[in-house]
Structure 1
Amino acid sequence: MLTVALLAAVYVALGVSSFCEEIIQSEMLPAHWRGRLFGFAQSGFLAGDAIGGTVGAVLLSKSGTPGLLLVYAGTSLVTAVVYPAFILRMGAASGSSGSRWSGGWTHIRRAR
């Protein structure tokens, strides 16, 4: 019973965080690009699921678990570097420096 309750709590938390992420993105992206960028993002999730399963199976069979984890670590590192730069660029392009979400990125702006 406890396992079911924890699983339900995890799914509720994932749903809430996904909703909040989309709200934050909609405020940070330029208004004239929002629809296109959200479309790319949703298509990217579908393509990532399809490609990731295929590539993951091939990597696991060819290089084992260490190779799979190495590729995962590399893609995570690239995402950690590129995503903040993308958000800063989109925020600057939209002129949304007054957004309530822009304060979270001030430490990145100061580091440049």
Structure 2
Amino acid sequence: MAKNQKYPENKHIALTADKDYKSGQPVAIGAYRGVALIDAAEGDRVTVWLDGSWEIDVAGALTEGQVVYLTGSNGLTATANANAWGVSNQAKATGTGPAEVAPFGMIPPTPASAG
């Protein structure tokens, strides 16, 4: 039997930063996808919020419900790559600018979980 529950709703979690993060940046550590709530250097603990929606700059045009992807510089892009991060809650014209996006949290999409 499980005891001592730590994160009853798992909306945020402290993880070991795999690189440097600034507060408000998208985070992808293992299967977790979220937003850094604090600045953290690589190796430090970083609090990652896994739930909700955030206004974050995204490169490229978006449609509602479109998957957004993490870039190598901790940014978001509409251009598909292997690092799916979340979904856009709004349409946005081309260029880089703010969009309301929601992280996949602790369950990123995979072919096995689709449908």
Q: TM-score, normalised by structure 1?
A: 0.24
Q: TM-score, normalised by structure 2?
A: 0.24
**RCO greater where, 1 or 2, for CA within 8 Å and sep 6 or more?**
1
Counting helix residues as a fraction of each chain, which structure ranks higher? 1
